[in-house]
Amino acid sequence: MNIVVLNSMWVLIASVLVFLMHAGFAMVEVGFTQSKNAVNIIMKNFVTVSIGVLSFFFVGYGVMYGADAGGLIGTDMFALINAPIEISGITFDVFFFFQAIFAATCATIVSGAVAERTKFTAYIVFVFVATMIIYPLIGHWIWGGGFLSTQLGFMDFAGGTAVHAVGGFCAFVGAAVVGPRTGKYKKGKPKAIPGHNIPLGALGVLILWFGWFGFNPGSTLDITSPATAHAAITTLLSGSAATFSALFFSNFRYGKPDAALTLNGALAGLVGITAGANVISFYGAIIIGLISGVIMIFSVEFFDKVVKVDDPVGAISVHGVCGSFGTIAVGLFSTQAGALGLFYGGGFKLLGIQTLGVLIVGSTAIILAFITFTTLKKTMGLRVEEHEELHGLDTMEHGISAYIEI
């Protein structure tokens, strides 16, 4: 029995679990937004998978995993030309399959934040840019042999920064540049625009959680490693702890256990553990989860009331803030690098490296997303007309309604 076969089988199955996350993202975004834009949300999710996979096949994979140039960018294997037979202990085909499905998730994060007022065509262009350049470039730095991992020693196991923080920072820029939904702010005060289908959103969260068991444990690429099952448990514990803390903290702060925040709490805990799911202890995972659930709530409030960037689904806080926090927390809770098994295992040095890495990635993502979105704004236009927004993007952009009762 070849160990390559066994590990390839594991990663193939993990990839398929990750694929279903696209159904999870779609349902979360649909459920948390207004019914008049549901078709548009669905269309964006399909476009993200479709264009994301094709862009990554032709360009993104090469940028991310091609021959390294100066620690900055990959330079070959475009359209998989001259790809090897095996890589990282699994077959190349399985490795590419896993990576291609990952790539599309980064862009998806943005779609929720810019929902309900962004032009469909502009979003399509963004998906091309995100999956050809933004995600693969930063991914190269972290996973493709670039300077962040090889020279700095930055640790990001399954994409707390490479996928989630990058997606969250791009989401922030997109939402800021496109501007808030009409009616979101009256005299500077935010107005809640509730989602139209909480059960569908909840289904989405549970599907995402299910897929996360491919996303995190699958990222070892090695079923013989104890880190694989360890990552499954830390993912389960952190998600559970964050659901718990978001539930109780929202009840404490707002007087009622808030459904949207509790569901986002689960996601916050899953994002929070992603960067260190393999090296953080079980207790550390619970602590990271508890904290993620609470800082997500503060962050949602902060962006809503102080920064006044309108993010319909909370993507900035869930993916950007908790992804960054979780990556930095690897410096606090890693058991691999240290002795105590809980606190300061990596020492302040690792903490510094992780913080620096997040800052570098965050700045880069913000700059690249800003260039993309402002260029789109000045050329083809980023935002639908106000009357289109009020009537809903479904009838205006796609000519149908999501729901018809007959």
Q: Which of positions 106-165 make contact with its own copies (CB under 8 A)? A: 120
Among 286, 295, 316, 330, binds its own copies (CB under 8 A): 286
In 46-163, at which residue ranges do the beta strands (DSSP E only) sit? 68-69, 73-74, 86-87, 90-91
Q: Which stretch binds its own copies (CB under 8 A): 89-97, 130-138, 322-330, 360-368?
A: 89-97
One residue of 210, 302, 344, 370 binding its own copies per CB under 8 A? 210
CA–CA distance, 227 with 280 (Å, rounded to integer): 10
Bridge partner residues of 383 (DSSP):
118
Interface residue with its own copies among 82, 374, 379, 401 (CB under 8 A) is 401
Local structure of 355: helix, strand or coil = helix
- How many angstroms separate the CA atoms of 377 and 392, rounded? 20
- Looking only at the bridges linking them, the beta strands covering 73-74 and 189-190 are unpaired
Find the binding residues for its own copies in span 360-399 (CB under 8 A).
Answer: 392, 397-399
Contact residues for 397 (Cβ-Cβ < 8 A; gap 6+): 40, 119, 120, 384, 388
Question: Which of 36, 383 has the CB closer to its own copies?
Answer: 36
For residues 307-336, which are near its own copies according to CB under 8 A? none
The answer to whether residue 402 forms part of the interface with its own copies (CB under 8 A) is: yes
Q: Which H or E run contains 190?
A: strand 189-190
The alpha carbon of 87 is separated from its chain's Cα centroid by a whole number of angstroms, namely: 25
Beta-carbon count within 10 A of 258 CB: 18
DSSP string, 302-324: IIIIII----TT-HIIIIIIHHH
Q: Which is nearer to its own copies, 141 or 212 (by Cβ)?
A: 212
Least gap, CB of 304 to its own copies (angstroms): 16
Structure-block tokens of residue 117: 């007022």
Nearer to its own copies, 13 or 360 (CB): 13
The minimum distance between CB 314 and its own copies, in angstroms, equals: 15
Shortest distance in whole angstroms from residue 286 CB to its own copies: 7
- Out of 282, 302, 344, 370, the only residue in the binding site for its own copies (CB under 8 A) is 282
Which 214-273 positions form the footprint of its own copies (CB under 8 A)? 214, 217, 223-224, 226, 228-230, 232-233, 236-237, 239-241, 243-244, 247, 254, 256-260, 262-263, 266
Identify the helix (H) or strand (E) that includes residue 185.
Answer: strand 185-186
Joined tokens for residue 320:
């950007």
Smallest gap from residue 131 Cβ to its own copies (A)? 11
Contact string (CB under 8 A) for its own copies, positions 157-186, x = contact: ------------------------------
Task: State the minimum distance, in angstroms, from the CB of residue 382 to its own copies.
Answer: 17
We find the least distance from the C-beta atom of residue 334 to its own copies, in angstroms, to be: 18
Site for its own copies in 3-32 (CB under 8 A): 3, 5-6, 8-10, 12-13, 15-17, 19-20, 22-23, 26-27, 30
**CA-based nearest residue to 174, from 319, 10, 9:** 319
Q: Smaller CB distance to its own copies: residue 84 or 399?
A: 399
Q: Nearest approach, Cβ of 391 to its own copies (angstroms)?
A: 11
Q: How many whole angstroms separate alpha carbon 174 and alpha carbon 154?
A: 27
Cα distance between the two ends of the chain: 58
Q: DSSP code of 91?
A: E
The answer to whether the CB of 331 falls within 8 A of the CB of 358 is no
User: Which of 154, 157 has the CB closer to its own copies?
Assistant: 157
Where in 293-312 is the site for its own copies (CB under 8 A)?
Answer: none
Q: In this complex, which beta carbon is closest to its own copies, that of residue 177 or of residue 267?
A: 267
Looking up tokens 């005299």, which residue turns up?
Answer: 187
Which residue, 267 or 369, is less far from its own copies as judged by CB? 267
The residue whose two tokens read 């729901």 is 403
